[in-house]
Amino acid sequence: MKDIHYISSERLEISTIRDIIFFDRKVELSEESVEKILKCRAYLDEKINTGETAIYGINTGFGSLYNVKISKDKLVKLQENLVMSHACGIGENVPKPIVKLMLFLKIQSLSYGHSGVQLETVQRLVDFYNNDILPVVYTQGSLGASGDLAPLAHLALPLLGKGEVNYDGKICATAEVMDAFGWSPIVLKSKEGLALLNGTQFMSAYGIHLLLESYKLSYLADLIGSISLEAFDGRIEPFNALVHLVRPHKGQLKTAERIRGFLEGSELIVQTKAHVQDPYSFRCMPQVHGATKDTLEFVKKTFLTEINAVTDNPNIFVGDDEIISGGNFHGQPLALALDYLKIAMAELGNISERRTYQLVSGLRGLPMFLVDNPGLNSGFMIPQYTAASIVSANKQLASPASIDSIVSSNGQEDHVSMGANAAVQAYTLVENVKRILAIELLNGSQALFFRGALRSSEMIEGFLKAYRSQIGFVKEDEILHDLMQNSIKFITELSVENELIFD
């Protein structure tokens, strides 16, 4: 198995990035990428040295200052000033795994040879990535339109020996770490600051991270929902392939097939039932979970297009002898996709909480609140409250950020995507869905203890054996916060390596 991933023009897939993260692979620039970077920089240097034409961001000011011409002897200072003045992030620190993805995606975007950066600049970003030197980046400050300006400025500051980085388990001044590695600050050339700051790598890194999490949670929603179905003494008929072939949405078909697979060989699911129908939260899992799967496909397509693209400005086309100022930094496609992701994942949490509610309601032979001696014991009454409060919070977070826009840069940037806000909201929302599913799993596992000697499928029994080694049967009241936290930890640490979860 490869220990190194070579940055090239080969298309990135979601499974490729998952493997890079999972196996903690180092990255290197391919010969192809090195050649493209060098060729583009040489072209730009020649253009500046032989021409007097104003080129946005290269020998002019930025934003509404686009008409201010900058003399050649000030071009280096212009780029350094740009990075420092735009480092205006605030709020919480961006989680380190997402910062590392930002570095990776910025390297990828610059490697295509349309940005005019020095090879030394990209190589230093590679060095940061490979040595886990992660710039301190903040969650607030990007409008998601002229690129993720503020977050990417903080990502770029360490190139200048400025700002702070996470290294070796602590936050420290970049200058200290660079001294330890014997590195000198990069002297940015014309256009480089703009290439580093224009781009969508903040939104994209969040999006890719959340896709990986969401596919895992989608898989677990099917599995945990199957456990709850059996605990509730539910019926298998609604998952029959015939039902779904006459309404063949891909996600719906996939969910029904997966749940049938999870339950294959179960004694519980085939026992005689006293009821002819189940509530929607059980019966309609294929339709609801499936719609989320179809949404994930759309979101995946959007983000894979983005991370295989050039998103800074202006773009340099050496073969066509063109330097064109456009708008590839605008985050509208990502903002809409992130809002759609929020809605879809919120629904997984919504229907999960409804299954939890059914399990604690004293129906179908289960004791009230899934505990012996209800009344003396409150049992699992309040975890459902917790899940309900999180579901309500998710409804608020799922409100679309992309419908908002605020004018900036003195009217030059008069429509923005707010995709960065959508990204941060989506991160919180997806973490919330994990908590809701963990609460359902806690309830489902407890409920199955009351189903007697009949066994579930081999797959579910194996899964529950691992789970119950950490969270056992609750005989009488205890501090359920601790069990909920252990359930969340179990889901978080669970590795789902099956490639089919991305289908």
Cα atoms in the 13 Å half-sphere on the side-chain side of 483 = 22
What is the 8-class DSSP label of residue 114?
Answer: -
Strands 26-29 and 4-7: parallel
Which residues, in sequence order, are bridge partners of residue 60?
Answer: 69
Q: Is residue 56 annotated as a catalytic residue, yes or no?
A: yes
* 406 vs 417: CA distance, rounded Å: 9
SS3 annotation, 351-410: HHHHHHHHHCECCCCCCECCCCCECCECCCHHHHHHHHHHHHHHHHHCCCCCCCCCCEHH
* Residues 6+ positions from 477 with CB-CB distance below 8 Å: 371, 377, 378, 379
Distance between CA atoms of 131 and 183, rounded to whole angstroms? Answer: 13
Q: Is 320 exposed, middle or buried (0-12, 13-18, 19+ CB in 10 A)?
A: exposed
Query: Which residue is catalytic, options 43, 56, 340, 427?
Result: 56
What is the C-alpha separation between 351 and 282, in angstroms, rounded? Answer: 9
Structure tokens at 201: 């790598």
Q: Cα-flanking dihedrals φ and ψ of residue 216, to 5°?
A: -65, -45
Crossing angle (nearest 10°) for helices 119-130 and 96-110? 150
Active site residues: 56
